[in-house]
Amino acid sequence: MSHAKPAFVRLAFVAMAAGVILSAVGRSCPADGIAVLANRDDDDRDGRPDADDDHVNGAADERDLTAIVVPCPAGARLVRVVADNAPLRFFLRDGEGWRHLGLGRAEWPLAEGGPADLTVHVEARDWAGVPETWMGQGNVAVTFEGPDGPIAVHDLLVCMAPVRLLPGTARVDEAYVATGRYDNAAFVARLRGILEGLDVPLVAHPTSDWREMWMQDTMEIAVAATTDSSMHVVLAGLRGHDSFPPTLLGPDVAVAEVAKPRPLAGGDAWADWYGNLEVSVPTAAHQQGRVIYGRNRLTGGSFHPDVIGFLTAQHAQSPVWIDTSWLVIKHTDEIVAFLPGEDGRGVILVPDPAEGLRLLGDQDAAEPQAGRRREANARIARAIEAMLVGDDQAPRAGEAGDAGATGLLALLGLDESRVVRLPVAFDVPAAGLLDDGGVTDASSLWSNPVNALVVNGTVICGSAGMPSGVQEICRERFLAAGADRVEFIDDGVYQKNHGNVHCATNARRQDVRPQR
């Protein structure tokens, strides 16, 4: 994590300085807004977020503060700072140390003949959307008073630096996997070997809980940044069985519990697992990408609405949904993924069940299974196409909260030339062919290449049950889509449980910081 010198925002130059800050974080905020971090990492390693105490916890914590500098008028004897409905804490440098001024408001006397400028440091206690009534913007009034009353009042707009998800194409500096419940020693050894060649450490989390074996689903590692400081923000698990995310709290890493586990069952039992939440690559239309989450058109169930509300409140990556009803696990990371493309403009990866079935042939199935398989894959192909380009009769993608028929490509600012199709065939149970022409409870017949892990240009793709011809086609298409290298790994221990490499792993990725 890199930090630069704190930004000193002078009142006369607020619009210019804040404009630089906010363009860097992609925040929708007026030009005179000042970006502030929610200081919820743990720089002093005391087990508590820094914003929960009234201290500046060393030089690293100081870098997470925003310094606001305003001119001090002649004759001022007292200054009052009031944050209007904003969870802000104020500090003043006092010699070599720091003085805590207050939470939400503060006032203190000014010495006659003091400095020409007043410098106040500020941190936020919480992200936008926590609580849901806090939308991430607030007014700070700085009032100077003399012997006869107010001399000058400055109204400043403060905006929270948004929490943003990072695309799978962003560089990785640490990867994660779980061990203990499944016999995955060979998988972990092979994965570690690949990552060592990329100079990326692999952290293995021991667990006896089968849910934690799906490391992608236990957390989402996001980021929040101003021009001069940043921290990773771990969105903690939503299943009530996620012991790993809290262990990551530390310097430059915050852990955010933005929703509570829900009692889910049936086809939506896995809806709140983080494999059901992705983000697209940046495009000209959406420079920070857009959050993508799964929605079951058959039940109306979707990824946790409180998390979607939290991400919406960031005003950075407006969420969209895709239909996941046709899958048995119903996760977005089985349907869409992204690579940079040969030109760096981004491509979207999706399954191609028609090609997958053609490459498989009918050697693995007799009637009536073969007929059911042909029909199922044809229907899945139509569902994926409807998701991409839109379908007025059976919407498969839309804006959050909207059941409209907009295609995902239009929602992301992509066109059909940016689609890369990867061959994979699916099977469904006898009841999986629905009377309305749809499909449900489909599972891939081999490792789904869409559910791969991308690490610094290398695609790590599962190979369990995958025909050799399919492997070569996938390799060629990954490379044509901008990958530097492709590594295959036997993920059979996960494939038999309806998941693959992406489901089994997680990664801390680096933020892409725009140039100042």
pLDDT tens sequence for the chain (516 residues)? 333 333 334 333 332 232 223 333 334 556 668 999 999 999 999 999 999 999 999 999 999 999 999 999 999 999 999 998 889 999 999 888 999 999 999 999 998 888 999 999 999 999 999 988 888 998 999 999 999 999 999 999 999 999 999 999 999 999 999 999 999 999 999 999 999 999 999 999 999 999 999 999 999 999 999 988 999 999 999 999 999 999 999 999 999 999 999 999 999 999 999 999 999 999 999 999 999 999 999 999 999 999 999 999 999 999 999 999 999 999 999 999 999 999 999 999 999 999 999 998 766 678 888 889 999 999 999 999 999 999 888 889 999 988 777 899 999 999 999 999 999 999 999 999 999 999 999 999 999 999 999 999 999 999 999 998 999 999 999 999 999 999 999 999 999 999 999 999 999 999 965 433
Residue 224, classed as helix, strand or coil, is: strand
Peptide bond into 73 cis (omega under 30): no
Q: How far apart are CA 187 and CA 80, in angstroms?
A: 60
Q: What confidence score (pLDDT) does residue 333 get?
A: 98
Q: What confidence score (pLDDT) does residue 12 get?
A: 31
Q: What confidence score (pLDDT) does residue 249 get?
A: 98
- 295, 273 Cβ separation under 8 angstroms: no
Residue 160, classed as helix, strand or coil, is: strand
Taking alpha carbons only, the member of 35, 220, 48, 2 closest to residue 127 is 35
Q: What are phi and psi of 230, to 5 degrees?
A: -155, 160
Q: How far apart are CA 23 and CA 27, in angstroms?
A: 7
Q: What confidence score (pLDDT) does residue 33 get?
A: 83
Integer-rounded Cα radius of gyration of the chain: 25
- 167, 336 Cβ separation under 8 angstroms: no
Dihedral sign of CA atoms 178, 183, 189, 190 in order: negative
Taking alpha carbons only, the member of 185, 217, 230 closest to residue 204 is 185
Taking alpha carbons only, the member of 385, 391, 164, 383 closest to residue 286 is 164
Dihedral sign of CA atoms 353, 377, 167, 499 in order: negative
Q: How far apart are CA 334 and CA 349, in angstroms?
A: 10
Which residues, other chains included, contact 247 with Cβ-Cβ below 8 Å and sequence gap of 6+? none
Count of Cβ atoms closer than 10 Å to residue 252 Cβ: 18
Bridge partner list, 105:
82
Q: Is the pTM of this model over 0.85?
A: yes
* Amino acid in position 130: V
Q: How far apart are CA 348 and CA 333, in angstroms?
A: 12
Report how far apart, in Å, the C-alpha atoms of 283 and of each of 61, 332, 347, 409, 452 are: 34, 19, 10, 11, 22
Q: What confidence score (pLDDT) does residue 4 get?
A: 31
164-509 falls under which CATH superfamily?
L-arginine/glycine Amidinotransferase; Chain A (3.75.10.10)
Distance of CA 178 to the CA centre of its chain: 20
Taking alpha carbons only, the member of 39, 14, 35 closest to residue 26 is 35
Taking alpha carbons only, the member of 163, 156, 134 closest to residue 33 is 156
* Amino acid in position 352: D
Helices (H), 56-132: 58-62
Residue 220, classed as helix, strand or coil, is: strand
Q: How far apart are CA 35 and CA 20, in angstroms?
A: 10
Q: Look at the domain 8-161 and name its fold.
A: Immunoglobulin-like (2.60.40)
Q: How far apart are CA 473 and CA 470, in angstroms?
A: 5
Q: What confidence score (pLDDT) does residue 6 get?
A: 35
Bridge partner list, 295:
302, 323
Residue 459, classed as helix, strand or coil, is: strand
Q: What confidence score (pLDDT) does residue 512 get?
A: 67
Q: At what angle do helices 353-360 and 468-480 cross, to 10 degrees?
A: 150
The string over 190-229, giving b where at least 16 C-beta atoms fall within 10 Å of a residue's C-beta and e elsewhere, is bbbebbeebebebebbebeeebbbbbbbbbbbbbbbbbbb
Q: What confidence score (pLDDT) does residue 76 get?
A: 94
Secondary structure element (H or E) that encloses residue 349, with its range: strand 347-352
- 341, 347 Cβ separation under 8 angstroms: yes
Count of Cβ atoms closer than 10 Å to residue 494 Cβ: 24
Report how far apart, in Å, the C-alpha atoms of 512 and of each of 105, 216, 248, 289 are: 35, 21, 21, 12
Q: What confidence score (pLDDT) does residue 401 get?
A: 81
189 backbone φψ class: left, alpha, beta (φ>0; ψ -120 to 50):
alpha
Long-range CB pairs of 230-237 (<8 Å, 24+ gap) are 230/1, 230/2, 230/3, 230/37, 230/511, 230/513, 231/1, 231/37, 231/40, 231/41, 231/64, 232/1, 232/508, 233/40, 233/127, 233/163, 235/163, 235/274, 235/307, 237/274
Q: At what angle do helices 353-360 and 369-389 cross, to 10 degrees?
A: 150
